[in-house]
A and B are shown apart, each in its own frame.
Chain A
Amino acid sequence: MRALVLCGALTAALAATSAHAQIDITGEWATKAHEDFDDRVPGDVQGDFTGVPMNDAARRFAESWDVTRVNLLEHQCQPYNVAHIFRGPMQFRIWTEKDPATQSIISYREYLGTYQQFRTIWMDNRPHPPDYVPHTNMGFSTGEWHGDILTVTTTHIKKEFYRRSGIPSSDRTTLVEHYIRHGNLLSHVMIITDPVYLTEPYLNSEEFVQMERGNQNWLYNCEYVMEVPMDKNRVPYYLPGMNPFIQDYAKKFGLPFEAVFGGAPTTYPEYEPKLEQLMKGR
């Protein structure tokens, strides 16, 4: 009997150790925008489609996209969705909700300063809801630990954009994130699948640095105003083939437009000989 009790106690202790041994990702984190700075912070000239495995539907959307459309009242304060918001400069806070009886983690909570967005990452093995459940900017997220990597799967995301150059995302987007902590740095990897606008998964990674002294600027007041005097019923757009700015990025960097607008094949090293060939032929 004594051996049985000892064995039970040991098992319970091991289980408890395992549940509490994960690396701590809670705290306040701020963007370290040293990668892809031009795209992620100020934005570049129109027509940057590099690195995105976009399909023809996405190309048609991008061709008709007029960047001034975001001046419309309806779009001014529209939040980025969860598959996009981490790309911009921002700070976010992570904390846990724990079961008071067992102290196991029920969920990670996040508050994202940009657009004041909240999200919950459920850690209690609950299933994702049915397809017909309303979609939100932050979607529905579940997480699980793989060693020291927190992997989060998010569905039920509202449509938005992958890039401000007009590459659209659909409400069938699925986002898989990996949170990997290295000291006071947090690596955040995003793998996005979208059967409507992407031909294969779209990968991004960002770094965040822990804010040891915090930060007071957690609010994001956005009011709908007439930013630029314009007809309130006019929606800026371009008809096919009429967008005068779509090749600006290719021209700025001396790249063939085909290479900038080519989607998945252009994202692989194997494309380099083709690019060289295109460059020679110019």
Chain B
Amino acid sequence: MRMNWKIVLPAACLMLMAAFGVRAHHSFTATYFEDREITIEGKLLQFMFRNPHSFVHIEAPGDDGQMHRWAVEWGGAGALAGQGVTNQTLRAGDVVKITGNPGREAGDYRLRMQYLRRDSDGFEWGKKPGETFQ
């Protein structure tokens, strides 16, 4: 039987994603409102590609109209690597648009990453199941 690698490879990646780096010290659902989404746009200040989860910090306006440093929580390094994301994928100064679930703690400028787009080269991440699009 011939294997269809177009099916097998994404499936293997998904299994790896499921196995590694998905669980953090905390529960996502406990930390973020998973039934709400907001979108922010701004300049990337820092990309921390790591475990247990990666973080992206961007400078973007909040509800109050003031600029804030937003912390966007992303997947663990192992999970993201399986989706083609590396520590070079994002760079300080990139202008990105991010959609995510807001944190439950009032006053925390944090999101759980659901979708990211960089208009300068069309890089996209999100919308499952392969996550990365270029």
Q: Determine if chain A interacts with chain B.
A: yes
A245 lies within 8 A of B104 (CB): yes
CB closest residue in chain A, given B107: A230
Decide if B71 is an interface residue (CB 8 Å cutoff). Answer: yes
Interface size on A, residues (CB 8 A): 38
B77 lies within 8 A of A221 (CB): yes
Contacting A220 at CB < 8 Å: which of B26, B51, B110? Answer: B51
In the complex, chain B residues whose CB is within 8 Å of the CB of A77:
51-52
Q: How far is the CB of B20 from chain A (nearest CB, A)?
A: 5
A45 lies within 8 A of B29 (CB): yes
In the complex, chain A residues whose CB is within 8 Å of the CB of B51:
77, 220-222
Interface size on B, residues (CB 8 A): 33
Contacting A227 at CB < 8 Å: which of B22, B23, B73? Answer: B73
How many A-B pairs have beta carbons closer than 8 Å: the answer is 99
CB closest residue in chain A, given B81: A217
A42 lies within 8 A of B28 (CB): yes
Decide if A229 is an interface residue (CB 8 Å cutoff). Answer: yes
Kindly identify, within residues 40 to 56 of chain B, every residue whose CB is under 8 Å from any CB belonging to chain A: 48, 50-53, 55
Q: Complex formed: what's the CA distance from A113 to B29 in Å?
A: 24
A227 lies within 8 A of B109 (CB): no
Kindly identify, within residues 105 to 137 of chain A, every residue whose CB is under 8 Å from any CB belonging to chain B: 113
Interface 1/0s, chain A 200-234, versus B by CB < 8 A?
00000000000000010100111101011110000
Contacting A215 at CB < 8 Å: which of B16, B48, B52? Answer: B16
Decide if A280 is an interface residue (CB 8 Å cutoff). Answer: no
Q: Complex formed: what's the CA distance from A44 to B28 in Å?
A: 7
Decide if A41 is an interface residue (CB 8 Å cutoff). Answer: yes
Decide if A256 is an interface residue (CB 8 Å cutoff). Answer: no
Decide if A279 is an interface residue (CB 8 Å cutoff). Answer: no
Contacting B108 at CB < 8 Å: which of A70, A217, A228? Answer: A228
Residue of A164, A228, A230 most packed against chain B (CB within 10 A):
A228
B26 lies within 8 A of A70 (CB): yes
Interface 1/0s, chain A 23-38, versus B by CB < 8 A?
0000000110100000
| Interface, chain A (partner B; CB < 8 A) | 30-31, 33, 40-46, 67-68, 70, 75-78, 88-91, 113, 164-165, 215, 217, 220-223, 225, 227-230, 236, 245, 248
Pull 6 A–B residue pairs with CB atoms less than 8 Å apart, ordered by A: A68-B26, A68-B108, A76-B25, A113-B20, A222-B52, A227-B71
Q: 3 closest pairs, A vs B, by CB?
A: A43-B27, A70-B25, A228-B71
| Interface, chain B (partner A; CB < 8 A) | 16, 18-20, 22-31, 48, 50-53, 55, 57, 69, 71, 73, 77-78, 81, 103-105, 108-110
